[in-house]
Amino acid sequence: MRWLWLPMLGGTVYLVVDALRAGSVQAAVGYGIVGLAITWWLSPWQGAGRARHADVVARPLAERPVVIYWRPGCTYCARLRARLGRAGRRATWVNIWQDEDAAAFVRSVNGGNETVPTVVVDGEPLTNPDPARVLARLAAA
């Protein structure tokens, strides 16, 4: 899945060039905007500059009540982020595609699978938890 952004980018370029050859600038711009947005959503660089697993676990437990391990292109992660709304900003988000230690941690608590979102609430890992439970903990923080 980490490479899925490449064919998306290639398809976007193809559609834009094809639309320009046909003389449809509006279609080319539309394809470009939508295609690049989806490419960005699938890219492993989305969310650059976020927390690293090693830095998170170095903090005392009281300073990390909610840690969310996620990856770009994950619809369940997008659903969780949307359901948390502004409260989600209080959580620590760790991109497993940017941090191999984070990916290893997620595999260790999910039977060897990189299942995301994996949310750690007060030290307890939860795989794809109910957003209401995470929201309740964030509200208490």
Q: Where are the domains of the chain?
A: 5-42, 53-140
Average pLDDT, the chain: 88
The Cα 29–Cα 35 span in angstroms is 10
CATH of domain 53-140: 3.40.30.10
Token reading at 125:
């890992």
Helix (H) or strand (E) holding 120: strand 118-121
Tens digit of pLDDT for each residue in 57-110?
899 988 888 999 999 888 899 899 889 988 988 899 999 988 999 999 999 999
Q: In sequence order, what DSSP letters do the residues of 67-101 get, joined into one string?
A: EEEE-TT-HHHHHHHHHHGGGGGGSEEEETTT-HH
| Residue pair 98/116 in contact by the 8 Å Cβ criterion | no
Confidence of residue 45 (pLDDT cuts 50, 70, 90): low
